[in-house]
Amino acid sequence: MTDVTTKTENPEDFAFTAENMGAAKAVIAKYPDGWQASAVMPLLDIAQRQNGGHLTQAAMDHIARVLDMPNIRVYEVATFYTMYNHKPIGKHHVQVCTNLPCWLRGSDEIMETCHKFLGLDNHESSEDGIFTLTEVECLGACVNAPMMQVGDDYYEDLDADSTLAILSELKAGKTPKTGSQIRRVSCEPVTGLTSLEEQAELRKAKVGGD
C-alpha cells in the first residue's frame, strides 16, 4: 500500500554520495539530451539503496532536482511501482509471491511459514529491524514456483522446510544458497534434460549449479 498523501515534510536532507552520483550520471548518459527524466526509475533505486531500503520525500525531491523534472512526476513513479518502499524496511525484505502459479504450487504454505517464523503480518517489520514481510505479485519466476525474494536474491522451489531453513540462516546472519532449493539447474526440468543434452556441460558452466 502506498502512502498517497503525507503531511510531514521530511526534514532531513538527501543527496547522492559521490559514488552514487557517478552511477546516476552513468544512467542519465544512456538517454538523449533533454530526456534525462527517463532515468528516474534507476535513480530511485540507487536512492533507495543508499537510504537503507526506502525512499523519503527528500530523496525523491533530490532526484527531481538532478533530473530537472517536477517533484510530483517523481512521486507518481515512486508510488506506482511496488518495488519502491516509502516506509523503513528491515534488513531482509522477504517478498513472497502469491500469484496463480506460486499459489497452485503451495505459496499459502510459504506465507504461513513466514508468518509463523517471523511473527509478522503482511507489510509488517520486526522490531529488531531484521525482517519485513510483504506479499507481492508475480516476480517472474513461475517456472520454479513457489518462490520468494529476499533483498536482491530469489529463492525458488520452496516448501515449508526450505523456507524455514532460509529464514533461520538469515536470522543467524548467514547467507543461504540462492536459486532453486531442490536439485534443479536454473529452470531446467527437475527430472533431467529432455533435449539439447549434448550441451548440458556447457550450460552448467554458464548458469552455475551442481
Interacting residues with another protein (CB under 8 A): 1-2, 4-7, 9, 57, 70-73, 75-76, 79-81
Question: How many other CB atoms are found less than 10 A from the CB of residue 207?
Answer: 12
Residue 67: Cβ-neighbour burial (10 angstroms; 0-12, 13-18, 19+): buried
Is residue 95 within 8 Å of 140, Cβ to Cβ? no
Based on CB atoms, which residue is closest to another protein, 8 or 175? 8
Q: Nearest to residue 78, comparing CAs of 140, 3, 12, 168?
A: 3
Min dist CB 4 to another protein, Å, is 4
Min dist CB 95 to another protein, Å, is 17
Does an H or E element contain 78, and which?
helix 71-80
Is residue 209 within 8 Å of 193, Cβ to Cβ? no
Based on CB atoms, which residue is closest to another protein, 134 or 162? 134
Based on CB atoms, which residue is closest to another protein, 138 or 187? 138
- 90: helix, coil or strand? coil
Based on CB atoms, which residue is closest to another protein, 2 or 51? 2
**Identity (one letter) of the amino acid at 38?**
S
Based on CB atoms, which residue is closest to another protein, 20 or 71? 71
Min dist CB 91 to another protein, Å, is 26
Q: Nearest to residue 133, comparing CAs of 153, 113, 152?
A: 113
Min dist CB 76 to another protein, Å, is 4
Min dist CB 85 to another protein, Å, is 14
